[in-house]
């Protein structure tokens, strides 16, 4: 019974982790699509006047800076979650060893 409970908890954790990984893959795919759109927009700006190019460049820098901050926050959250999951796994493994 105790071992089955631990296995069930571990399976739940694994399922949650897999769902998080899938969500992150989807975010990466969305970012790739957005990057392609931005590349197309950049190619179009090369046809603008120098002043308009500078203005567009400043807007892009602001946008990319904000996106980088979002990605940094996402990465920090993932790292925290990874540490939490590793800690939980160690606890479960210790319980299993103690039970055996």
Asked if the model's pLDDT at residue 100 lies above 80, the reply is no
Q: How far apart are CA 100 and CA 92, in angstroms?
A: 12
**pLDDT at site 96:** 82
| Neighbouring C-beta atoms of residue 85, cutoff 10 Å | 15
- Interval 54-88: pLDDT, tens: 998 899 899 999 999 999 999 999 999 999 989 98
- Predicted structure pTM score: 0.48
19 has pLDDT over 90: yes
At 89, the pLDDT band (50, 70, 90 cuts) reads confident
> Residue 42: pLDDT band by 50, 70, 90 thresholds?
confident
């Amino acid at each position: 019974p105790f071992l089955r409970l631990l296995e069930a908890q571990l399976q739940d954790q694994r399922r949650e982790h897999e769902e998080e990984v899938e969500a992150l893959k989807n975010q990466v795919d969305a970012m790739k699509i957005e990057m392609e759109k931005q590349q197309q927009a950049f190619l179009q700006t090369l046809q603008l006047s120098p002043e308009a190019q500078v203005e567009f460049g400043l807007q892009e820098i602001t946008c990319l800076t904000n996106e980088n901050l979002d990605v940094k926050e996402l990465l920090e959250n993932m790292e925290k979650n990874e540490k939490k999951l590793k800690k939980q796994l160690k606890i479960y493994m210790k319980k299993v060893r103690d039970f055996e």
